[in-house]
């Protein structure tokens, strides 16, 4: 479990099953960086813990960082290898463009690269029409996905972020949640971290060549991706991601005239202040004294959490297990899972991991936090946990 952690073991007849990480409320740490943004957040990717926040729940205009949602829906659609016929509506979209032509046929995957690297509004509309059947149908999918992943203060009115609707709003926190979700997708990661992409152009001998507008990919050695945005009303918006020593961070700033420097400063502060600490290891839980459970209880996956040096001494693990039968022998259907580990920091629960008898737990694929939470909560409400 790790040397700085304390552990408490409890036997009980019932327990409430969850498998999650709950971010602590935003904490002000010593020497937290100052930022120029009206709204900002620094979030850790693995757990969603908010390491820094400034008006992070304030609803604001978000401009082209909207396209993160458009991109991940396209990637998840299963249509990336399909050919899209570009409509007049897409071609005549206002603002930034990848200069599509009416009736042009182009691979959906290339449209997503044009969307993310060059922020093409024409690409956004073409994607929306192909994936959603219409722009309006796609916007419905955008809001449905937003609710699914917990974006409670977000409403999308279009696939590009132009200021053509008054209620197209989100928050720095919600956009960080969206990015956390999207970054769990390998293809999205590949696209958002691409510096230059070449796309064949129908009827032409030369390719389109797009360079990523996200300057952090060239300015900052730990940068892994992100999305820029700007409209007259939203001003400069920026989402970016970075990874160092196995820890991944997400930064979002809204209305920030100094966003490049603010993002670098937030990343540097985060990497300096926090370590991603393994609190629960995958495999056998050590130190259980009851003979029924000794060396026979397992965790299905690691649980890691970003901690400061001071916080490492304040973490406690509480193991809760079903009361074993008096004769030490389970019937044909022992409780599954058999218990849980509850991780607490300063008496606040930050995560819970289910426990299983040796060899009885399912293998967990790499999933997003929200996907795993939804699956396990659904399972809980469909079963009755038996008494010990």
Q: Write out the two tokens for 148.
A: 């699914």
Q: How many CB atoms lie within 10 A of CB 278?
A: 14
3-state secondary structure string, 5-27?
CEEEEEEECCCCCCCEECCCCCC
Query: Which residue, chain included where needed, has tokens 């309006």?
Result: 136
Instruction: Based on the residue annotation, tell me whether 215 is a catalytic residue of this protein.
Output: no
User: 330: part of which helix (H) or strand (E)?
Assistant: none
Do you find a cis peptide bond into 337, omega within 30 degrees of 0? yes
Cα separation, 7 vs 87, in Å, equals 61
Check 39, 64, 170, 223 and give the catalytic one: 64
In the beta sheet, which residues pair with residue 142?
none
Q: How many CB atoms lie within 10 A of CB 265?
A: 16
Check 39, 87, 96, 119 and give the catalytic one: 119
3-state secondary structure string, 52-85?
EEECCCCCECCHHHHHHHHHHHHHHCCCCCCEEE
Instruction: Based on the residue annotation, tell me whether 119 is a catalytic residue of this protein.
Output: yes
Instruction: Based on the residue annotation, tell me whether 294 is a catalytic residue of this protein.
Output: no
What is the distance, to the nearest Å, from the Cα of residue 152 to the centroid of all Cα atoms in its chain? 15
Cα separation, 69 vs 199, in Å, equals 22
CA angle 265, 227, 53 (to 5 degrees): 45
Check 39, 54, 67, 170 and give the catalytic one: 67
Hey, which residues are catalytic here?
64, 67, 119
């Amino acid at each position: 479990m790790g040397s700085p952690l304390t552990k408490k073991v409890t036997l009980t007849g019932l327990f409430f099953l969850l498998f999650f990480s709950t971010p602590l409320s935003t904490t002000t740490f010593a020497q937290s960086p100052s930022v120029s943004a009206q709204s900002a957040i620094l979030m850790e990717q693995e757990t969603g813990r908010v390491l820094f926040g400034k008006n992070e729940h304030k609803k604001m205009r978000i401009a082209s960082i909207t396209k993160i949602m458009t991109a991940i829906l396209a990637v998840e659609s299963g249509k990336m290898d399909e050919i899209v016929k570009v409509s007049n509506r897409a071609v005549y979209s206002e603002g930034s463009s990848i200069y599509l032509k009416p009736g042009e046929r182009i691979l959906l995957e290339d449209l997503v690269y044009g969307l993310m690297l060059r922020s093409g509004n024409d690409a956004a509309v073409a994607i929306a029409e192909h994936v959603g059947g219409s722009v309006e149908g796609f916007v419905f999918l955008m809001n449905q996905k937003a609710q699914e992943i917990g974006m409670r203060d977000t409403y999308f009115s279009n696939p590009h972020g132009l200021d053509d609707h008054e209620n197209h709003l989100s928050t720095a926190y919600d956009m960080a949640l969206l990015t956390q979700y999207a970054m769990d997708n390998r293809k999205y990661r590949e696209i958002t971290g691409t510096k230059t992409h070449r796309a064949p152009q129908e009827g032409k001998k030369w390719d389109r060549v797009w360079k990523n507008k996200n300057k952090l990919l060239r300015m900052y050695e730990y940068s892994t991706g992100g999305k820029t945005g700007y409209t007259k009303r939203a001003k400069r918006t920026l989402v970016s991601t970075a990874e160092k020593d196995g820890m991944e961070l997400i930064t979002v700033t809204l209305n920030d005239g100094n966003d490049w420097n603010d993002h670098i400063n937030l990343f540097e502060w985060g990497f300096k202040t926090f370590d991603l600490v393994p609190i629960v290891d995958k495999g056998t839980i050590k130190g259980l004294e009851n003979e029924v459970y000794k060396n026979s209880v397992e965790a299905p996956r690691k649980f890691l959490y970003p901690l400061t040096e001071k916080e490492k001494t304040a973490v406690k693990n509480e193991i809760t297990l079903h009361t074993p039968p008096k004769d030490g022998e389970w019937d044909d259907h022992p409780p599954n899972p058999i218990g849980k580990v509850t991780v607490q920091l300063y008496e606040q629960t930050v995560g819970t991991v289910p426990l299983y008898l040796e060899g009885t737990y399912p293998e967990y694929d790499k999933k997003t936090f929200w996907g795993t939470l939804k699956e396990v909560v659904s399972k809980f409400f469909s079963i009755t946990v038996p008494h010990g």
